[in-house]
Chains A and B, each alone.
Chain A
Amino acid sequence: MQRKLPLLTPENSAFWQGGANGELLIYRCAGCARWFHPPAPVCPTCNSTDVGPEPVSGRGSVYSFTVNHQAWTPDLADPYVVAIVELDEQPGLRFLTNIVGSPPDAVTIGMRVRVTFLHCEDVWLPQFEQDA
């Protein structure tokens, strides 16, 4: 099947489309300065509504990962890496993504990574590659 893509909303479009300008945009609270994900119209820590997307460095490290071997559909026959990456900006600021550009067996927890965008229709998927 084709890659499943998200339905864009006022809250999530910055995350899914920031890559058009080469930016990874993550929501941040002006009240308490904390970053949070997934994006929402209110800060989960202090409930301030003074929140919005801001660019992050796009650098982080692999928090955990798995090499998928099951061909759920014929297009997924080759092993691929699903990972959770923690961004440098804040401990615990992390999301699920893919690690690309390395052999799946080379990925390790703690590996330094940087964002790279996969353009699909009107969405730029933030994936990560090894940060040499």
Chain B
Amino acid sequence: MTRQFAAITGIGQSEVARPSSRSAMQLTVDAALEAMRDAGLTSRDIDGVACWPGDNDNGSPFSPVGPLALKSVLGIETNWYGGGYEAPGPLAAVINAAIAVKAGLCRHVLVFRTITESSARQVDRNVSSLANKTQGRDGSYFWQWYTPFNARSAINMIAMYAQRHFHEFGTTSEQLGWIPVTLRAHAALNPNAIYRKPITIEDYLASRMISTPLRLLDCDVHCDASTAIIVSALDAARDLPNPPIRIEAVGSALSKPWSWDQISLTEMATADVGRMLWSRTDYRPSDVDTAQLYDGFSILTLMWLEGLGFCSVGEGGAFVDGGTRIGLGGALPLNTNGGQLSGGRTHGLGYVHEACTQLWGRAGERQIRQNRVAACAGGGGPLGGALLLVKE
């Protein structure tokens, strides 16, 4: 059983810098031109543009360039385009592009994501505060339940998820620390990563506490970067230079309310997403050669490992302990470019870019040996979506 939505045919990425001297639009154009070139296409061939979360006309450093602007700048004649935050997490634009292609609305979609949080934080280090999402009184349907209690950052929510996971399953900081430690080792082999100097578990445990039990080294690193992916119709993909990477299955389910405190604190959206993903393919978790799983905070990666069935619920701590299984030579090489924890918070599409880099055998010193099937997941809290990618 397979839906075979669409395929990825090219990838591109700007410099990943902390901060970059290039403008948000320049970074975006860098990534887009590289992705189109990689796919053997020009902007004349592109007829769709997709972005998550889009710009919403406010120029936020969280997403300063949206599909309307990029379509115009590149002169793309679109048959379909779309953006917007209210979708299943940071991989939603890839899912939307696959849907648009599968529905026959367009043939080649330029999917992109730009972020300039690093340069924005040079000016205002609280630019991403939840309290700054609204002006004056908080009239947001979601954030008003948190900001009055001085929950100023997503880390306050996600720290409570970690605390609950520790409580229910006996997960420890000593186990959780193997995610940032192992990912730093991967970043050491990635010339584009932000932080490349190896760290130890002792370094992790000594790093500053931000919101118990999460430390500084549990948090991803802000950067300025843009990532672009070309999603093409399957028949069109087979005429292009790269072996198509099929979007074999998608997980986008959410059975609980979209809320940071009304969902399961130890599953978030991951279990719903995992159930949907594996119900739509004959592949199993054991077929996956590499996992690129959201690591905005380390505990989220651990929950994705459980939610996508790479280990049993509650066993994530034991699974990552020691770092062997998730290392480059392990059973499930994880976030092989260093993830967002060390590589840089490209926020979503970076996982797809790295999955394709590995599947196409372009990963240099960090190249894994088995490289046909990859799983990608994006999001924390109620945000969640996943892709299963298979190289033809």
A7 lies within 8 A of B163 (CB): no
Q: Which residues on B sit within 8 Å (CB–CB) of A125?
A: 148-149
Whether B211 and A70, one on each chain, are in contact in the complex, defined by CB atoms closer than 8 angstroms, is: yes
Is B257 part of the binding interface, using a Cβ–Cβ cutoff of 8 Å?
A: yes
User: Chain B residues with Cβ under 8 A from A127's Cβ?
Assistant: 149
Interface contact A76-B152, CB-CB below 8 Å: yes
Instruction: Using C-beta atoms within 8 Å of the partner chain, give the interface range for chain B.
Output: 35 or more
Chain A residues, Cβ within 8 Å of B364: none
Residues from chain A with a CB closer than 8 A to the CB of B160 are 64-66, 82-84
Cβ of B262 under 8 Å from chain A: yes
Q: Of A12, A70, A96, which one neighbours B153 at CB under 8 angstroms?
A: A70
Residues of A within 8 A of B211 (CB): 66-70, 82
Which B residues lie within 8 Å of A80 (CB)? 150
Complex: A94 Cα to B126 Cα, angstroms: 28
Flag whether B161 is at the interface (Cβ < 8 A). Answer: yes
Instruction: Quote the shortest CB–CB distance from B189 to chain A (angstroms).
Output: 31
- Cβ of B122 < 8 Å from any Cβ of A? no
Interface residues of B (CB under 8 A from A): 126, 129, 131, 134, 136-139, 141, 144-153, 155-157, 159-161, 163-164, 167, 208-214, 257, 259-262, 265
Cross-chain contact of B163 among A12, A65, A96, A98 (Cβ < 8 A): A65
**B147: chain A residues within 8 A (beta carbon):** 4, 6
Please name all residues of chain B whose beta carbon is closer than 8 Å to the beta carbon of A56 when the two chains form the complex.
Answer: none
Q: A65-B163, A66-B160, A67-B212 are in contact. List 7 more A-B contacts (CB 8 A).
A: A6-B144, A64-B160, A69-B208, A69-B211, A82-B156, A82-B159, A98-B149
A64–B148 CB distance below 8 A = no
Among the listed B129, B146, B159, B213, which residue makes an inter-chain contact with A72, where contact means beta carbons less than 8 Å apart? B129
Q: What separation, in Å, do the CA atoms of A9 and B140 have in the docked complex?
A: 11
Enumerate the 5 nearest inter-chain pairs by beta-carbon distance, A residue then B residue, closest first: A7-B139, A66-B159, A7-B137, A6-B144, A4-B147
Assess whether B156 is in contact with A63, with CB atoms less than 8 Å apart.
no
Q: Which residues of A contact B155 (CB under 8 A)?
A: 70
- Residues of B with C-beta under 8 A to A66: 156, 159-160, 163, 211-214
* Given the contacts A65-B160, A66-B211, A6 and B257 also touching, CB distance less than 8 Å: no
| Least CB separation from A80: chain B residue | B150
Query: Would you call B210 and A97 a contact (CB within 8 A)?
Result: no
- Chain B residues positioned under 8 Å from A68 (CB to CB): 150, 152, 156, 159, 210-211
Which residues in window 54-75 of A have CB below 8 A to B?
A: 63-70, 72-73
A34 within 8 A of B: no
Closest to B153 in A: A72
Task: Name the residue in B134, B145, B260 with the highest tally of chain A Cβ atoms < 10 Å from its Cβ.
Answer: B145
* Cross-chain contact B149 with A96 (CB below 8 angstroms): yes
Number of A-B residue pairs, CB cutoff 8 Å, is 113
* Sample (10) of A-B pairs whose CB atoms are under 8 Å apart: A1-B131, A4-B147, A63-B265, A66-B163, A67-B209, A69-B212, A80-B150, A109-B163, A109-B167, A125-B148
**A residues within 8 A CB of B210?**
68-70
Q: Does the CB pair A64–B151 fall under 8 Å?
A: no
Whether the pair A82, B260 counts as a contact (CB closer than 8 A) is no
Write out the residue numbers on chain B whose beta carbons fall within 8 Å of the beta carbon of A1.
131
| Interface flag for A114 (CB, 8 Å) | no
Q: Which residue of A lies closest to B210 (CB)?
A: A70
Contact with B along A8-51 (1 / 0, CB 8 A): 11001000000000000000000000000110000010000000
Provide the residues of chain A in CB contact with B260, threshold 8 Å: 96
**CB < 8 Å: which of A12, A72, A73, A98 contacts B144?**
A12
- Residue of B134, B161, B214, B262 near A64 (CB, 8 A) is B161
Residues of A near B151 (CB, < 8 A) are 82, 96
Measured CA separation A36–B52 after assembly (Å): 31
Contact partner of A96 among B126, B214, B261, CB < 8 A? B261
Could you tell me the distance in whole angstroms from the C-beta of A106 to the nearest C-beta in chain B? 13
User: Is B148 touching A84 in the complex (CB atoms < 8 A)?
Assistant: no
| Closest Cβ–Cβ distance, residue A63 to chain B (whole Å) | 7
Task: Name the residue on A nearest B266 (C-beta).
Answer: A64
Q: Which residues does chain B contribute within 8 Å of A70, judged by CB atoms?
A: 153, 155, 210-211
- Min CB distance, A48 to chain B, in Å? 17
Is the Cβ of A98 less than 8 Å from the Cβ of B150? yes
Residue of A nearest to B168 (CB): A109
Contact of B138 among A4, A64, A94, A96 (CB under 8 A): A4
Contacts of A98 in B (CB 8 A): 149-150
The residue from A7, A38, A44, A73 contacting B145, defined by CB atoms under 8 A apart:
A38
Chain B residues with Cβ below 8 Å from A96 are 145-146, 149, 151, 157, 260-261
Q: A67-B211, A67-B212 are in contact. Are A84 and B156 (CB under 8 A)?
A: no
Cα separation A80 to B211 with both chains bound (whole Å) = 9
Q: Specify which of B149, B257, B261 is in contact with A44 (CB 8 Å cutoff).
A: B257
